[in-house]
């Protein structure tokens, strides 16, 4: 099992507790396994930490891929696919439209 990078450590003792400011960009990691897409396993404040974790985690037993997605807190429509990792290697991220209108 992969380990967290120093940027994703529990820093609750380093900073005062409280809400994260709106507009903050965060990066999330989730995995794809043979029978399911797993929920988010990690939220990072640095893209490098998220990508390092995804790259390492994509080689774990039973994991087909790990993906990094960015979000802007408290702002709808800001989700963006950033990177996809398979067996530790970065893959091309396919274009996914943000147009969620139902076509008739």
**Tens of pLDDT along 52-69?**
999 999 999 999 999 999
Q: What is the pLDDT of residue 86?
A: 94
pLDDT at position 36 is: 85
Whether the CB-CB separation of 67 and 30 falls below 8 Å is answered with yes
Per-residue pLDDT, 103: 60
pLDDT beyond 60 at 75 = yes
pLDDT of residue 20: 80
Nearest C-alpha neighbor of 66 from the set 45, 42, 46: 42
How much is the average pLDDT of 29-41? 89
């Amino acid at each position: 099992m992969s380990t967290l990078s120093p940027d994703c450590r529990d820093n609750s003792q380093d900073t005062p507790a409280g809400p994260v400011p709106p507009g903050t960009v965060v990066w999330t990691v989730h995995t794809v396994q043979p029978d399911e897409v797993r929920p988010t396993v990690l939220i990072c404040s640095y893209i490098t930490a998220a990508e390092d974790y995804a790259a390492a985690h994509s080689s774990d037993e039973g994991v087909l891929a790990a993906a990094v997605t960015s979000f802007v807190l408290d702002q709808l429509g800001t989700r963006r696919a950033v990177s996809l990792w398979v067996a530790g290697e970065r893959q091309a991220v396919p274009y996914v439209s943000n147009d969620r209108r139902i076509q008739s």
